[in-house]
Amino acid sequence: MPDEFRPLPLSPVELRSRFRRGDLARPTAGLAPGFVQANLVVLPRALAFDFLLFTQRNPKPCPLLEVVEAGSVEPREMAPGADLRSDIPKYRVYRDGTLVEEPTDLSRLWTDDLVSFLIGCSFTFESALIEAGVPVRHVEQCTNVPMYITSVPTRPAGVFHGPMVVSMRPVPAGKVVRAVQVTSRFPAVHGAPVHIGDPAVIGIRDIARPDLGDPVEFQPGDVPVFWACGVTPQAAAMASKPALMITHAPGHMFITDRRDADFAVL
């Protein structure tokens, strides 16, 4: 296991404080197991209504956990006392749709005009799948989940539009029903799959060549199962080329104080 993925026995608040001090900058997979991790999208206030409406219209790719209004940096529901400008290990800053830097702190960029959106991440349901006996191949293979740009459009809202991006996990045929059941319990983190089986149906030409992330190896009898992916809102936001957009860096998520189990329905 590479060093950067080694587990650390730290609580969410301890991890955030190390990210804040700047003495730890690594992907968050495997950290604070059992606690919800979130995607971050930060936009100027003028785009906030359109983006909020985009998440409301596309709840599977954009399961919204919390909105932090302009003038605040504290996600009071998900992590009271946290500071969104510093408590993520690495950020990405886009200007006019172009990636310009990857800072570990946003203090010098921040203005009172920025609205922050925390969006659910599939780490939560992957733990639940593993606990339910459904193997997660890319975790077994220590690679990033493969992601694909589909031919399925999102429902547009104002300036935001674009195709749905999905993640794919090979699931043994006999476990596909269980995988649907387990992930249906977590609508706040993408929920049930959007498609099972033939990739061509949703416009994916070559399952072996993902648009993002890494290819994953199928085991005999595995069926491809597709879930809506949190990259969708970032891609839609970027396509609108906002003057400024800030996100977490891929894999470097915001670790919250809320437990995965709090977001299960039934």
String marking each residue 72-101 x if it binds a second copy according to CB under 8 A: -----x------------------------
CB burial string 73-90: b at 16+ within 10 A, e below:
bebeebbeebbbbbbbbb
Residues sharing a CB contact under 8 Å with residue 37, sequence separation 6 or more, in sequence order? 28, 121, 123, 124, 253, 254, 255, 256
- d(CA 264, CA 179) in angstroms, rounded, equals 14
48 is a site residue for a second copy (CB under 8 A): yes
The CB-of-181 to a second copy minimum distance in angstroms stands at 8
- d(CA 133, CA 127) in angstroms, rounded, equals 10
203 is a site residue for a second copy (CB under 8 A): no
52 is a site residue for a second copy (CB under 8 A): yes
String marking each residue 227-266 x if it binds a second copy according to CB under 8 A: --------------------------------------xx
- From the list 31, 64, 73, 249, which residue makes contact with a second copy (rule: CB under 8 A)? 64
155 is a site residue for a second copy (CB under 8 A): yes
Q: How far is CA 142 from CA 114, 136, 208, in A?
A: 36, 10, 17
Residues sharing a CB contact under 8 Å with residue 196, sequence separation 6 or more, in sequence order? 176, 180, 223, 224, 225, 226
The amino acid present at 204, given as its one-letter code, is I
- d(CA 214, CA 191) in angstroms, rounded, equals 22
Q: CB nearer to a second copy: give 183 or 247.
A: 183
Per rule CB under 8 A, count of chain residues that contact a second copy = 19
The piece of 9-17, 124-132, 150-158, 167-175 that touches a second copy (CB under 8 A) is 150-158
- From the list 13, 25, 53, 207, which residue makes contact with a second copy (rule: CB under 8 A)? 53
For the chain, how far is it from start to end, CA to CA, in angstroms? 36
- From the list 81, 97, 133, 158, which residue makes contact with a second copy (rule: CB under 8 A)? 158
Q: How far is CA 80 from CA 66, 92, 93, in A?
A: 12, 23, 25
- From the list 184, 199, 212, 244, which residue makes contact with a second copy (rule: CB under 8 A)? 184
Binding site for a second copy (CB under 8 A): 48-49, 52-53, 55-57, 64, 67, 69, 77, 155, 157-158, 181, 184, 187, 265-266
